[in-house]
Amino acid sequence: MSLPHSLEEELPTVNDSFLRFGASHGILSAEKALVHVPSVIDASTKDEADLGVSPKGASRTLSNFESKCLRWMNGVELLDDALRNKRFLPTGCEGIDTLLGGGLREGQLTEIVGPSSSGKTQFCLYVASNVAVKLCGSIVFLDTSNSFSPTRIASIVNQICGPAVKEGQERRIKNIMSSIHCQSVFDIFSLQDALHELDNTLNMQTIREGTKICMLVVDSVSSLITPILGSKSSQGRSLMVSVGYLMKQLADEWNLSVLVTNHMVSGGGTSKPALGESWKCIPHVRLQLSRCPGSSICNVSVLKHTSMACNRSVDFEIPN
């Protein structure tokens, strides 16, 4: 949600004095103003002169806020936005694309769960390369376990581009690989910072030239979150949920497709995803990967999907 500052042009009642009033009470966003300004005004009607804003003026501004700021959308607008801005990013693995009705959706958070060496990282690298080649979009890869391999990316990109060595092939590969940005993050706080920074970057992107960032990969999100979940306090869960919401917000606001991985742990004989019940409300789509040891064919099944039936599965192979 935007700050009152950005509404200045649209709403004449949002003037400097209102902004100062808001700022001096730590109210920086429109919805916060809506929720808290009445109580602040109630509490401090006496020193009106200090505030520099009259209660009446403030409440008028607030009713303006109500009509302008909150983004109630109707179904038609929503559908229009979804069809226009939320593309399907092809993963490049045919089976998966048909399974998901076209690929990973922009605006959604897709989670991959699977045991160790089931192909999660390979899938991430493959999708990232494929999106970079086919859609010429930028990709941000947040790497938590040093598993981002530029060598592997190069070989995948080479493979997708085709073996024919043409003029300028080298340059094209260089361009493609320069559009994949990688950063290592080793704890949840740096992940949070990176996400906020990405938000700011995307904010700037609207005016700056360059390829659009269309995908964010976090491999693996669970290895950052599991260390903070152990303690009895709910602080860890709170961080986990807020990071989840942050990613969803980025996804929706900037039409990113977010791909995260989650590992499996064995508990009581069966293995289950490391992040438990409270995490389940975060991803839109949940896919489970599995691979028989020794074979190169992975199986992917849909555990959860917002618009399609679950429990369907397909085999695929990531070429070497």
> Is position 161 an interface residue for other proteins (rule: CB under 8 A)?
no
Q: Which of 67, 60, 55 is nearest to 14 (CA)?
A: 60
Q: How many CA atoms lie within 13 A of 3 on its CB side?
A: 12
Distance of CA 302 to the CA centre of its chain: 20
Residues 244-273 that bind other proteins (CB under 8 A): 245, 248-249, 252, 263-266, 271
Distance CA 273, CA 251 (A): 23
Q: Which of 85, 33, 86 is nearest to 60 (CA)?
A: 33
Residues 191-220 that bind other proteins (CB under 8 A): 192-194, 196-198, 200-201, 203-204, 207, 213, 220
Distance CA 47, CA 94 (A): 67
Give the x/- contact pattern for other proteins in 47-86, rule: CB under 8 A.
-------------------xx-xxxxxxxx-xx-xx----
The tokens for 209 are 């030239």
> Is position 13 an interface residue for other proteins (rule: CB under 8 A)?
no
Q: For residues 127 and 133, is the Cβ–Cβ distance under 8 A?
A: no
Distance CA 290, CA 144 (A): 21
> Is position 150 an interface residue for other proteins (rule: CB under 8 A)?
yes
> Is position 172 an interface residue for other proteins (rule: CB under 8 A)?
no
Of the candidates 123, 126, 148, 254, which one interacts with other proteins according to CB under 8 A? 148
Of the candidates 240, 275, 287, 289, which one interacts with other proteins according to CB under 8 A? 240
Minimum distance between the CB of residue 73 and other proteins, rounded to whole angstroms?
5
Of the candidates 61, 110, 130, 179, which one interacts with other proteins according to CB under 8 A? 179
> Is position 313 an interface residue for other proteins (rule: CB under 8 A)?
no
Residues 271-300 that bind other proteins (CB under 8 A): 271, 274, 276-278, 280-281, 284, 293-294, 296
Q: Is the peptide bond before 220 cis (omega within 30 degrees of 0)?
A: yes
Options 16-24, 52-60, 89-97, 160-168: segment touching other proteins (CB under 8 A): 16-24
Q: Is the peptide bond before 190 cis (omega within 30 degrees of 0)?
A: no
Minimum distance between the CB of residue 292 and other proteins, rounded to whole angstroms?
10
> Is position 189 an interface residue for other proteins (rule: CB under 8 A)?
yes
> Is position 181 an interface residue for other proteins (rule: CB under 8 A)?
yes
- Cα–Cα distances in angstroms (integers) from residue 215 to residues 102, 180, 208, 227, 319, in the given order: 15, 10, 18, 26, 22
Minimum distance between the CB of residue 184 and other proteins, rounded to whole angstroms?
6
Q: Which of 58, 52, 6 is nearest to 29 (CA)?
A: 6
Q: For residues 18 and 53, is the Cβ–Cβ distance under 8 A?
A: yes
Of 45 and 200, which has the nearer Cβ to other proteins?
200
Q: For residues 303 and 310, is the Cβ–Cβ distance under 8 A?
A: yes
> Is position 145 an interface residue for other proteins (rule: CB under 8 A)?
yes
> Is position 184 an interface residue for other proteins (rule: CB under 8 A)?
yes
> Is position 14 an interface residue for other proteins (rule: CB under 8 A)?
no
Distance of CA 100 to the CA centre of its chain: 18
Of the candidates 84, 164, 230, 270, which one interacts with other proteins according to CB under 8 A? 230
